């Protein structure tokens, strides 16, 4: 185990921060975390606006099921949808098996995973990740066994499930072989240096967690090249969870947000018009005789609501979003919104109901009160 006095913040947070920093630098859009376990890294990544597709794979489905709901959208995500699409998918399966749904990603992360495999399965892992999935970039972290003497009380491996722990030379040998076989280049780094007082020197031990960052040859850091489509489709994983976040790129959601803005501003302008506190509406609006209906030109809404401009881009797109929407009534030429005083409509409806009973308003009230008295006496 990694003792807290040596690393603050803890080493697992530093590994995750390394991934976050990489994504920010490279504007990575599609990420899959192999061995995602309790989804801690995925939960952190979902808040980064660079990412549009986030996937996780783990062989232990029960662990994922306990934590996967933390990846669901928050109420605020529906109230204020973002301008980027975000989909999250969780799969149960082995990283030594192929699944076509995980091909063509920008980044694959393998954080402290490879040492949990049998050495015989490491070759399968290499073939699946670098040969079949063929992402633009891969980040692999694994314990550096040369650092182990500095961990107080450690006997054997750092975790009971570790099948091996590589030295820096062993890790680099494997990584360079992968690059040669599958067309990648790699640079080595890590997190968690030895304390200053370590003897003979801190650099002798290297990083506690060593990291290899692989880049596929022939690609830029922020452009994904899809692997060959000649490979047969394979679906060996079980989809446990899938969710799509609300996004303004969804036309229905965009329309709903725009309509809400229109309803707010038209009602505000109508009230100002009826209270005589606005000049623009006096010039551009019409009041129907005997009613409190107001016509608000779309160009007026366009000019007074910056959010509508940002959302729609053009006045014609704004108009198109309002057409045929059940909550918005446009004039016949589709150049203005007709706003009706709902209170007046309600009063008219109530008056019509009274006429249907054949009673005056006073009589209707008296009848209701009498009935209520009778019910009370029966109770």
pLDDT computed for residue 287 by the predictor: 43
Using alpha carbons, select from 199, 213, 193, 183 the residue that is nearest to residue 28. 213
pLDDT band at 197 (very low <50, low <70, confident <90, very high): low
Burial class of residue 82, CB neighbours in 10 A (0-12, 13-18, 19+): middle
Mean pLDDT, range 59-83, rounded to an integer: 89
Burial class of residue 229, CB neighbours in 10 A (0-12, 13-18, 19+): exposed
Instruction: Return the CATH superfamily for domain 11-244.
Output: Vaccinia Virus protein VP39 (3.40.50.150)
| Least confident segment among 61-65, 132-136, 322-326 | 322-326
| Least confident segment among 12-16, 245-249, 367-371 | 367-371
Q: Could you say which DSSP state residue 220 is in?
A: -
pLDDT digits (tens, 9 = 90+) for 299-320: 989 888 888 888 898 999 999 9
pLDDT digits (tens, 9 = 90+) for 328-352: 889 889 899 887 765 544 444 454 5
pLDDT digits (tens, 9 = 90+) for 145-166: 999 988 888 888 999 999 999 9
Using alpha carbons, select from 109, 93, 30 the residue that is nearest to residue 58. 93
The whole-angstrom separation of Cα 141 and Cα 115 is: 9
Q: In the structure encoding, which two tokens stand for residue 189, read together?
A: 């780094």
247-285 per-residue burial string, b: 16 or more CB within 10 A, e: under 16: bbeeeeebbbbbbebbeebbebbbbbbeeeebeebeebb
Structural domain spans, the chain: 11-244, 251-340, 345-378
| pTM of the predicted structure, to 2 decimals | 0.75
Distances (CA, A) of 314 to 71, 80, 256, 264, 265: 35, 21, 17, 20, 18
Under DSSP, is residue 30 helix (H, G, I), strand (E, B) or coil? strand
pLDDT band at 167 (very low <50, low <70, confident <90, very high): very high
The whole-angstrom separation of Cα 309 and Cα 304 is: 9
Reply yes or no: is the peptide bond before residue 321 cis, omega within 30 of 0. no
Give the rounded percent of residues in the chain with a pLDDT score beyond 90: 50
List alpha helices for 8-145, DSSP H: 11-26, 40-45, 61-67, 75-79, 119-126
């Amino acid at each position: 185990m990694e003792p807290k006095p040596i690393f603050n913040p803890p080493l697992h947070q530093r590994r995750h921060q390394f991934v976050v920093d990489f994504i920010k630098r490279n504007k990575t859009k599609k990420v899959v975390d192999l061995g995602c376990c309790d989804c801690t890294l995925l939960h952190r990544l979902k808040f980064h606006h660079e990412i549009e597709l986030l996937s996780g794979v783990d062989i232990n489905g029960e662990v994922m099921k306990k934590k996967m709901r933390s990846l669901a959208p928050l109420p605020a995500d529906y109230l204020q949808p973002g301008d980027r699409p975000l989909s999250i998918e969780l799969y149960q399966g082995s990283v030594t098996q192929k699944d076509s749904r995980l091909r063509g990603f920008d980044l694959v992360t393998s954080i402290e995973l490879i040492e949990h495999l049998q050495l015989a399965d490491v070759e399968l892992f290499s073939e699946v990740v670098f040969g079949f999935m063929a992402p633009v970039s891969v980040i692999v972290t694994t314990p550096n066994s040369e650092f182990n003497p500095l961990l107080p009380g450690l006997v054997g491996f750092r975790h009971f499930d570790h099948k091996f722990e590589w030295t820096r030379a062993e890790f680099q040998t494997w990584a360079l072989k992968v690059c040669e076989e599958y067309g990648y280049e790699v640079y080595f780094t890590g997190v968690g240096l030895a304390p200053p007082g370590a003897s003979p020197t801190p650099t002798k031990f290297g990083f506690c967690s060593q990291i290899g960052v692989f880049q596929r040859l022939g690609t830029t850091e922020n452009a994904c090249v899809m692997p060959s489509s000649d490979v047969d489709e394979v679906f060996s994983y079980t989809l446990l969870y899938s969710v799509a976040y609300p996004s303004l790129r969804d036309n229905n959601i965009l329309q709903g947000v725009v309509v809400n803005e229109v309803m707010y501003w038209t009602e505000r302008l109508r009230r100002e018009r009826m209270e005589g506190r606005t000049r623009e509406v006096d010039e551009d609006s019409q009041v129907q005789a005997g009613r409190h209906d107001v016509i608000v030109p779309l160009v007026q809404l366009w000019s007074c609501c910056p959010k509508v401009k940002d959302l729609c881009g053009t006045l014609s797109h704004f108009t198109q979003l309002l057409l045929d929407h059940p909550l918005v009534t446009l004039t016949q030429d589709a150049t203005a919104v007709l706003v009706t005083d709902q209170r007046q409509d309600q009063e008219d409806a109530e008056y019509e109901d009274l006429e249907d009973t054949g009673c005056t308003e006073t009589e209707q009230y008296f009848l209701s009160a009498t009935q209520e008295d009778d019910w009370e006496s029966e109770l």
